[in-house]
Chain A
Amino acid sequence: MSVFPSGEMAVKVFGRLFTVLLEDDDFAAKARQEGMSVRLLHTKPDCELLVTPEGVRAGGEQAGPAAITLRMSCDTAHALWMGQLMVPVAIATGRLRIRGKVARVLELVPMLRPAFDRYPEIAAAAGIGA
Chain B
Amino acid sequence: MNTALSESVSEAALNFDVLPNGVEQFREAAREFARNVVKPRVQDLDQKPAAHFDWDLVGRGHRIGLTRAAIPKEYGGLGVGMLGVATALEEVAAVCPGTALVFGATLLGQAPVLLSGDPRLQARFLPLFSGDEPVLACNAVTEEDAGCDLIVPAQAEHARNVTTARRDGDDYVLTGRKRFITNAKVAAFASVFANMEGSPGATGLTSFIVPLDLPGVVRGPVADKMGYRACLGSELEFHDVRVPAEYLVGAEGEGMAINMAQSNMARAAVAGISTGVARSALEQAIIWCGERVQGGRHLKDQQFTAAKLAGMAARVDAARMLYLRAADKVDNELPPPVYEPAAAKLFADRTAIDVAETALSLLGARGYLRSYGVEKMMRDALGTRIYEGTPEVLALAITDSLYAERDEW
Binding site for B on A (CB under 8 A): 71, 86-89, 91-94, 96-103, 105-107, 109-110, 113
Is A103's CB under 8 angstroms from B79's CB? yes
Total residues of chain B contacting the partner, CB 8 A? 28
Is B409's CB under 8 angstroms from A106's CB? no
Binding site for A on B (CB under 8 A): 72, 74, 79, 81, 112, 114-119, 122, 249-251, 254, 257-258, 260-261, 330-335, 407, 409
Interface of A is mostly: helix
Q: Of all chain A residues, which has the CB nearest B81?
A: A103
Is B333's CB under 8 angstroms from A89's CB? no
Is A99's CB under 8 angstroms from B409's CB? yes
Q: What A residues does B260 contact at CB under 8 A?
A: 92
Is A92's CB under 8 angstroms from B79's CB? no
CA distance A86 to B112 in the complex (A): 13
Is A92's CB under 8 angstroms from B117's CB? no
Q: What B residues does A107 contact at CB under 8 A?
A: 72, 74
Contact partner of A94 among B112, B117, B335, CB < 8 A?
A: B335
Residue pairs across A and B with CB atoms within 8 Å: the count is 76
Contacts known (A88-B258, A107-B72); A98 close to B251, Cβ less than 8 A: no
Is A110's CB under 8 angstroms from B331's CB? no
Is B335's CB under 8 angstroms from A97's CB? yes
CA distance A106 to B81 in the complex (A): 11
Is A105's CB under 8 angstroms from B334's CB? yes
Is B115's CB under 8 angstroms from A91's CB? yes
Contact partner of B335 among A92, A101, A109, CB < 8 A?
A: A92
CB distance from A71 to the nearest CB of B (A): 7
Q: 5 closest A-B pairs (Cβ-Cβ)?
A: A109-B117, A92-B257, A98-B334, A110-B119, A87-B117
Is B117's CB under 8 angstroms from A110's CB? yes
CA distance A91 to B118 in the complex (A): 13
